Amino acid sequence: MASGGTETFDYVIVGGGSAGAILAARLSENPATTVCLLEAGPRDRNPFIHLPAGFIKVIFDPGLTWGYETEPGPYIDNRKLPVLQGKVLGGSGSINGMVWVRGQRDDFDGWAEMGADGWSYDEVLPYYLRLERRIGEGEPEFRGRQGRIPVMDLAWKNELIDAFIAGAQQVGIPYNADYNGRSQAGVGRYQYNIDRGKRYSAAKAYLKPAAGRKNLEVRTDALATKIVFEGKKAVGIEYRRTGDATTRQMRARREVVLCGGAVNSPRLLMLSGVGPADVLKTAGVGVRQDLAGLGQNYMDHFTPRLTYKARNAVSINGLAKGPKLWGQMARWALGMPSILGMGVVHGAAFWKTRPDLNRPNMVVTFTPGTYKQGFLGRLDDFPGMTTGVWQLRPDSRGWLKIVSADPMAKPSIQPNFLAEESDRRTAVEALKIARKIMATPQMAALTEAETMPGSDKVSDDELLAYTRSQGLCGYHASGTARIGRADDAAAVVDGQLRVHGMEALRVVDASVMPVVVSGNTNAATMMIAEKAADMMRAA
């Protein structure tokens, strides 16, 4: 693979997360094709990565994340919020809550209407089917059974979850046994990419089986610092190894593919001279290609939460301490349902804040547990419950940009949460729906009190003030290099995910979404990678 002292591969993929891991595994299925996957973080050897309940140990681990945060948010009381992006093999899929949500049919048909040719629902569904090994209910038309990613329902039984589902039905939200099937609308238990009590990231499901391939090089602790161009053609990558300031170069015979996510892919493009000319000039970077839309269209799901003290019920708070925790550990070790083997949230009600809407625009999530105020990761001493709400397709748009030509400098990120009145209104109405569910007889019988914001906060203004002061990122950054046609000034890549105006350069990750999907973004990111692999093999 060496050529004149410089390593050369057919494809160089930057970012070993949910997209990059899949793409590297798929492209290297052809033994005649050489692939190098560069990952800035370490290998996924931390045991808490693979233990589902261990997510709370890894999601804020500075050794496994990028340490990014937003600029002060003008509509959220000028707060700065963490922007969690995985810096480890498997990427954010190695540190997230493992919730599996595809999105809605209209999400993808909407993409196609916006100029994302080839990305309608009927065109992406085959790749979801290819991905999945569904464990549980699901119509064959909509659910895959032979894929690499196991998708299971919440197996752990708890009366608080049952009461939440019953309460949601009481307020008019129908039961849905499979929100990833024919329709997302309704209430049910969350699905996870977990099997036998273990997380299944793209690294575990795709890279591990490919580990013996001689044509696949997976290089961790390798930070890409710049794309190497010859004119408009991408021909390689400059990178540094962790703990070593030496700049190395790697060449690509066919293509360079960026899979760094919605923050790092735009960031690397900008550091390489591709992006909005004014941003590049201000940062001291020469302009190779003026792409005004790069770094714009930033989207995430802003999430306020309500917390409750439970009564006459068992919550995670009590099961995660003392002798009961040992019991849960034993259950997990024996392959039985346990709090150690499930994702971060357990119940979901995908619904509408207004009856005139034709599809869900928000979700109410439910977890039978609470954290101490200001101490995420430390459970309360009393039994508790948490509901969270978020608008599935926010109207507010943010941006990110580099502020320096230094590849070690962090980018400036401004999500603009709650900038649009429609988002503020939806957040308040969604909180009201969550409260209606919690006030039903099923939930009221198990509720001692609302602890945050407290039952005395009832007006729209009070709920909005609470949302501004307490809402958090959903950690679903997307949209910053969106798909669109060449005549769309806001588009960054075409339907084949090729960067407009450039050659041999693609972006394959959540940044290409024209609009964020109606749910968690990991499943859609994996789908994008599966589809990209087919497109690249056919090129």
Q: Which residues does the annotation mark as catalytic?
A: 476
CA distance 96 to 106: 25
184: helix, strand or coil: coil
Distance in angstroms (rounded) separating the CA atoms of residues 316 and 384: 8
User: How many whole angstroms separate alpha carbon 476 and alpha carbon 481?
Assistant: 14
How far, in Å, CA of 506 to CA of 490, rounded?
Answer: 17
492-516 in b/e form (b: 16+ CB < 10 A) is bbbbebbbbebebbbbbbbbbbbbb
- Token reading at 274: 């591709």
Q: Kindly give the pairing relationship between strand 447-452 and strand 305-310.
A: antiparallel
* Other Cβ atoms within 10 Å of 265 Cβ, number: 30
Reading the block at residue 430, the tokens are: 């969604």
DSSP states of 421-489 as a string? HHHHHHHHHHHHHHHHHHTSHHHHTTEEEEEETTTT--SHHHHHHHHHHH-B--S--B-TT-B--TT-T
Q: CA-CA-CA-CA torsion for 518, 523, 527, 533, nearest 10 degrees?
A: 140
- What's the gap between Cα 255 and its chain centre? 25
Positive/negative CA dihedral, 263, 362, 109, 534: positive
Q: Which of 371, 384, 528 is nearest to 449 (CA)?
A: 384
**Tokens representing residue 315 in the block:** 């919550």
Total H helices, total E strands in the chain: 15, 27
Q: Comparing C-alpha atoms, which of 489, 166, 495, 476 is closest to residue 349?
A: 166
